[in-house]
């Protein structure tokens, strides 16, 4: 859970990166960092907190240059501390480079142990630093059988060699003094899109909503395994690990994580999320009075269900958007305070009604139980709880922050037991086949579904 953004060839690079990162804020709220090259050196600012609260105009003005990369962080690997805030800037015998990473390297601990035994000293606990060490210590080998552009002969073989050693999920942006390099792992777990504005500046972002904010046009997704180099000689793509037969794009990006106004993996998140709701209606038709989304995450699947079933969609829960990062501890006597800070039922909509309550996923089940109790207290006659994805049974190891297996309610309880625990009349999860069918089109095949199946494609 992180967002990355990059700009090439724009004198407002730091400010545009700031805006792009703000659009990606949902991907990470712990910390933000921007690195900028003025073609001679790379400078950087990093801070903990939200983009708009952590970086001011003065800091951005100090970051002069026309190439930049940025990162918003939500820690899935390494602790949440200032050392782990990205980008990471390194200096070695071939110059300087800064790295911003979204994903999770599954063999990072193993590689780290080997490197430490050889005398390497790590400054962070992040898996990304492993990548940097591998680049810095790689031999300048050209045995990849790839004809490299002269500008790429120095650094790229080192990067290719590092890519050969790491396993897992990585969408990377690398800033060098005169180059911006974008990398997507050979399985394509995490998204990365390419855009361009009318002035000819090039942009890279985790999601296309970050291109919209800087008025850049979405051109395409980076391909799984692609290394894209952008410099004064144009754009060049390499595939150092060859083409994989099957990509494992994270389907959870479509279910929950990406913004609905984004295009990722060559398709609109909005239409796929709505299709998941339509599919839910086909799989589980229910005679009820209203469809109520759990805001904001369940909104589009609820709309899809409503359209397919003909049952009206009503906003039966109102969300309070003004919850800060810290709030008073729940008072014991008010059992549902933690959820009431966020959601409150609309009695007029739910009283005496048979409700189809829809959310995108069910992870721990504790919040759902509180929502159901609130709706019952507001007079709901029946509550049929439908989830527009299958039961989450295994944690993610590719960069999405899911709880441990023990905390995942579906890893130890049957659907019937969960239904009893939450206190609903019906509980139904979208089938795995239904979810995949909703996300697929003729361009868009091959998804990771490991958190729903326990079947990890790379370990
Ligand atoms: S395990 Fe789940 S959340 Fe993680 S990459 Fe796969 S589909 Fe996405």
Q: Indicate the pLDDT class of residue 330, thresholds 50, 70 and 90.
A: very low
Q: What is the pLDDT of residues 249-277, one digit of tens each?
A: 999 999 999 999 999 999 999 999 999 99
Q: Is 119 within 8 Å of 106 (Cβ atoms)?
A: no
Residue 78 has pLDDT above 90, yes or no: no
Residue 325 has pLDDT above 50, yes or no: no
Distance 84 CA to ligand 1 centre (A): 23
Q: From atom 5 of ligand 1, which residue's Cα is the shortest distance away? A: 250
Q: From atom 8 of ligand 1, which residue's Cα is the shortest distance away? A: 250
- The structure tokens listed for 258 are 């990406």
More confident residue, 23 or 443: 23
Q: Which residues of 30-41 are buried (b: 16+ CB within 10 A; e: fewer)?
A: bbbbbbbbeeee
pLDDT for residue 326 = 43
Sheet of strand 290-293: strand arrangement: 290-293, 354-359, 382-387, 426-429
Is 2 catalytic? The answer is: yes
Annotated catalytic residue within 2, 209, 448, 451? 2
pLDDT for residue 74 = 84
**Cα separation of 343 and 333, whole Å?**
18
- Mean pLDDT (the chain) is 93
Residue 328 has pLDDT above 80, yes or no: no
pLDDT for residue 342 = 85
DSSP track, 399-412: S-----GGG-HHHH
The closest-lying atom of ligand 1 relative to the alpha carbon of residue 169 is 5
pLDDT for residue 324 = 54
Q: What is the pLDDT of residues 130-158, one digit of tens each?
A: 999 999 999 866 667 889 999 999 999 99
Q: What is the pLDDT of residues 93-128, one digit of tens each?
A: 999 999 999 999 999 999 999 999 999 999 999 999
pLDDT for residue 340 = 79
Under CATH, which architecture does the 2-247 domain have?
Answer: 4-Layer Sandwich (3.60)
Residue 163 has pLDDT above 70, yes or no: yes
Separation of CA 438 from chain center:
19
Pick from 222, 191, 199, 197: nearest CA to 212: 197
Q: What is the pLDDT of residues 357-405, one digit of tens each?
A: 999 999 999 899 999 999 999 999 999 999 999 999 999 999 988 889 9
The closest-lying atom of ligand 1 relative to the alpha carbon of residue 449 is 7
Quickly name the fold that domain 272-441 has: Rossmann fold (3.40.50)
Pocket of ligand 1 (CB under 6 A): 189, 250-252, 396, 398, 400, 448-451
Pick from 241, 204, 288, 258: nearest CA to 24: 258
DSSP track, 204-245: EESSTHHHHHTT-EEEEEPPTT-EEEEETTEEEEE-TT---S
Residue the block writes with tokens 């970050």: 210
Q: What is the pLDDT of residues 240-253, one digit of tens each?
A: 998 776 789 999 99
Pick from 422, 69, 41, 443: nearest CA to 220: 443
Q: Is 228 within 8 Å of 152 (Cβ atoms)?
A: no
> Residue 183, Cβ neighbours under 10 Å: how many?
25
Please tell me the pTM assigned to this model: 0.94
Q: What is the pLDDT of residues 201-237, one digit of tens each?
A: 999 999 999 999 999 999 999 999 999 999 999 999 9
**Cα separation of 362 and 388, whole Å?**
9
pLDDT for residue 327 = 44
> Residue 175, Cβ neighbours under 10 Å: how many?
30
Distance 250 CA to ligand 1 centre (A): 5
Quickly list H helices, 33-79.
Answer: 51-54, 57-62
Burial degree of 271 (CB within 10 A; 0-12, 13-18, 19+):
middle
> Residue 413, Cβ neighbours under 10 Å: how many?
15
pLDDT for residue 427 = 98
The closest-lying atom of ligand 1 relative to the alpha carbon of residue 402 is 3
Sign, CA dihedral 206-210-216-219, equals positive
Residue ranges per domain, the chain?
Answer: 2-247, 272-441
């Amino acid at each position: 859970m992180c967002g990355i953004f990059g700009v090439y060839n724009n004198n407002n690079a730091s400010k545009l990166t700031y805006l792009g990162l703000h659009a990606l804020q949902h991907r990470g709220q712990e910390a933000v960092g921007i690195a900028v090259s003025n073609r001679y050196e790379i400078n950087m600012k990093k801070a903990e907190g939200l983009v708009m609260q952590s970086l001011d105009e003065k800091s951005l003005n100090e970051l002069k240059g026309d190439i930049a990369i940025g990162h918003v962080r939500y820690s899935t690997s390494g602790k949440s501390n200032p050392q782990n805030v990205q980008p990471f800037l390194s200096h070695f015998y071939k110059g300087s480079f800064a790295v911003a990473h979204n994903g999770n390297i599954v063999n990072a601990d193993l590689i780290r142990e080997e490197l430490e035994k050889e005398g390497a000293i790590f400054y962070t606990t992040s898996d990304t630093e492993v990548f940097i060490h591998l680049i810095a210590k790689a031999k300048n080998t050209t045995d990849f059988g790839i004809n490299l552009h002269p500008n790429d002969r120095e650094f790229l073989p080192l990067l290719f060699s590092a890519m050969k050693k790491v396993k897992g999920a990585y969408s990377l942006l690398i800033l060098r003094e005169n180059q911006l390099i974008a990398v997507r792992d050979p399985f394509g777990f995490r998204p990365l899109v390419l855009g361009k504005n009318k002035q000819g500046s090039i942009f890279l972002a985790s999601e296309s909503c970050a291109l919209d904010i800087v008025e850049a046009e979405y051109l395409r997704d980076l391909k799984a395994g692609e290394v894209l180099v952008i410099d004064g000689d144009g754009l060049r793509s390499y595939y150092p690990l060859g083409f994989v037969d099957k990509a494992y794009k994270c389907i959870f990006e479509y279910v929950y994580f990406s913004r609905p106004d984004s295009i990722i993996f060559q398709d609109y998140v909005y239409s796929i999320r709505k299709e998941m709701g339509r599919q839910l209606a086909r799989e589980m038709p229910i005679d009820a009075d209203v469809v109520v989304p759990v805001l904001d995450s369940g909104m589009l699947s609820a709309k899809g269900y409503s359209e397919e079933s003909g049952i009206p969609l009503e906003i039966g829960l109102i969300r309070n958007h003004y919850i800060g990062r810290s709030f008073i501890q729940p008072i014991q006597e008010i059992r549902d305070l933690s959820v009431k800070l966020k959601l409150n039922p609309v009695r007029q909509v739910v009283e005496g009604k048979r409700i189809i309550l829809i959310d995108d996923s069910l992870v721990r089940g504790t919040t759902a139980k509180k929502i159901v109790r609130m709706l019952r207290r507001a007079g709901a006659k029946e509550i049929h709880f439908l989830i527009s994805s299958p039961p989450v049974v295994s944690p993610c190891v590719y960069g999405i922050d899911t709880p441990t297996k023990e905390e995942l309610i579906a890893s130890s309880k049957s659907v019937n037991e969960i239904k009893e625990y939450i206190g609903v009349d019906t509980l139904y999860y979208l089938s795995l086949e239904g979810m995949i069918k909703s996300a697929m089109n003729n361009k868009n095949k091959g998804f990771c579904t490991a958190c729903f199946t326990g079947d990890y494609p790379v370990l």
